[in-house]
């Protein structure tokens, strides 16, 4: 029997590198998963793959940066589940740009997707958790704990998400809903590879990513998702209000 057997879980960012791993691993632990992302084609392919494995998986395409998309997600969740046991807010984008060159539109886009969307999702889905309680896991970043050059918009959003998770843990504790943030270091997924792909110094930057961790390597999606599964499971019922670095020791240097 899996550690999440029978639990209803919503996973955002489901078609990204880490999101696909999450949908597979949560399903392997017995969860009923509803995944969401903007890429409908990739979502259909993931649904086919997981269905063939016997997983209970549903995909819904939605833009979570605004209330319209979040309402689309909420309606799909209500149709699929009678309750929600865990929400894994795994979506996000990155921007590397000097502060004085960052436009208002770029700032707003990062904050809409990386921070505001989590607030909107929680407002929409928490009512489906109140009766039985549950767990919310928000993916922040080591960039929300440590200051990196050229990452003002991203760092502000991810730092805000870490603090938002703490405040939400206080507000939702009376409903037996736990809220924690995960703060990964650089994880070897398409996002950071795409981020450096167009840079002239990409090999040097990638090496710097590796050396920035005390472990001397990048993280793996499976390592981050394993922590999320723990936080979604009944093994972590004494854990709430934490912003947990899983960053190879980057944040302690």
Residue 194 CB: number of other CB atoms within 10 A? Answer: 10
Residue 23 CB: number of other CB atoms within 10 A? Answer: 31
CA distance 19 to 99: 29
Half-sphere exposure of 34 (CA within 13 A, CB side): 24
Q: Does residue 75 contact residue 50 with C-beta atoms inside 8 Å?
A: no
As given in the structure block, the two tokens for residue 6 are 């029978």
CA distance 191 to 251: 20
Helix (H/G/I), strand (E/B), else coil: 65: coil
Q: Which residues contact 172 (CB under 8 A, 6 or more apart)?
A: 126, 136, 178, 179
Active site residues: 154
How many residues in the chain?
A: 253
Helices and strands, counts by H and E, the chain: 9, 7
CA distance 140 to 107: 17
Q: Which residue has the tokens 């999450």?
A: 22
């Amino acid at each position: 029997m899996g550690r999440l057997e029978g639990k209803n879980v919503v996973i955002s960012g489901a078609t990204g590198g880490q999101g696909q791993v999450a949908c597979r691993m949560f399903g392997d632990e017995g969860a009923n998963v509803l995944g969401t992302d903007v890429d409908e084609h990739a979502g259909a392919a993931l649904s086919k793959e997981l269905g063939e494995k016997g997983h209970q998986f549903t995909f819904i395409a939605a833009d979570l940066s605004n209330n319209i998309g979040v309402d689309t997600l909420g309606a799909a969740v209500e149709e699929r589940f009678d309750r929600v046991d865990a929400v894994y807010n795994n979506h996000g984008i990155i921007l590397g740009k000097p502060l004085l060159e960052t436009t208002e539109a770029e700032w707003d886009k990062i904050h809409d997707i990386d921070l505001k969307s989590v607030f909107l999702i929680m407002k929409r889905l928490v009512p489906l958790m109140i009766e039985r309680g549950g767990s919310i896991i928000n993916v922040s970043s080591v960039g929300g704990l440590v200051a990196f050059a050229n990452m003002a918009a991203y760092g502000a959003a991810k730092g805000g998400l870490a603090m938002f998770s703490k405040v939400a843990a206080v507000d939702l504790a009376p409903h037996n809903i736990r809220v924690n943030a995960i703060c990964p270091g650089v994880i070897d997924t398409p996002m950071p590879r795409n981020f450096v792909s167009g840079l002239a110094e990409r090999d040097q930057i990638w090496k710097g990513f590796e050396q920035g961790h005390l472990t001397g390597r990048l993280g793996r999606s499976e390592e981050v998702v394993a922590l999320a599964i723990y936080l979604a499971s009944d093994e972590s019922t004494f854990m709430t209000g934490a912003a947990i670095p899983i960053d190879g020791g980057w944040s302690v240097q």
